[in-house]
Amino acid sequence: MLKLKWFIYTVLIGLIPVGARFIVVLVSPRANNEMLWNETDIASFGLALNISNISVLEHESFHRQWKTVVNGLSVILLIFIALVFGLSFMKEIDPSLISVLRLKQTSFILAVTSFVLSYVVYDRLGSRRAPRMRS
């Protein structure tokens, strides 16, 4: 049940900017496929996942070392994602300063990494909270 809640409340809500952009590209006659994937939308997804990790582990008291490692990784990912946001703002000011393709690739790698880490967190918490079957 915990993983289902994570998927609905974190993953799907985190993908709202991507979905909204998809709809805009779909209905706009001037839009092209390049507009479909935006690094800030993808980075927003990573932000939602990492903030969710930190939030859910806030009240957990088991495996303190594991919790510290996961929170540390989430904070590091948040810092890199914030850098992607900053670089995307620089791109808006002067597109020649930043490689748009590399910025998109970086945000995608960070989002996938965040997704995997978040899945591991919720998988571990879900298996810990799962009711035991009586034999």
82-108 pLDDT, tens digit each: 999 999 999 889 989 899 899 999 999
The number of angstroms, rounded, from the C-alpha of 88 to the middle of its chain's C-alpha atoms is 17
Find out whether 117 and 77 touch, Cβ atoms under 8 Å: yes
Listed residue (75, 74, 88) closest to 118, CA to CA: 74
User: What value, to the nearest 5°, has the Cα angle with vertex 60 and ends 109 and 73?
Assistant: 25
Distance CA 121, CA 126 (A): 8
**Per-residue pLDDT tens for 107-126?**
999 999 999 999 999 999 98
- 10 Å CB burial of residue 46 (0-12, 13-18, 19+) is buried
Domain boundaries, the chain: 2-129
pLDDT tops 80 at residue 134: no
pLDDT tens for 69-85 read 999 999 999 999 999 99
Position 133 confidence tier, pLDDT thresholds 50, 70, 90: very low
Residue bearing the bigger pLDDT, 32 or 38: 38
Q: How confident is the model at residue 129 (pLDDT cuts 50, 70, 90)?
A: low
Q: Is the pLDDT of residue 33 over 80?
A: no
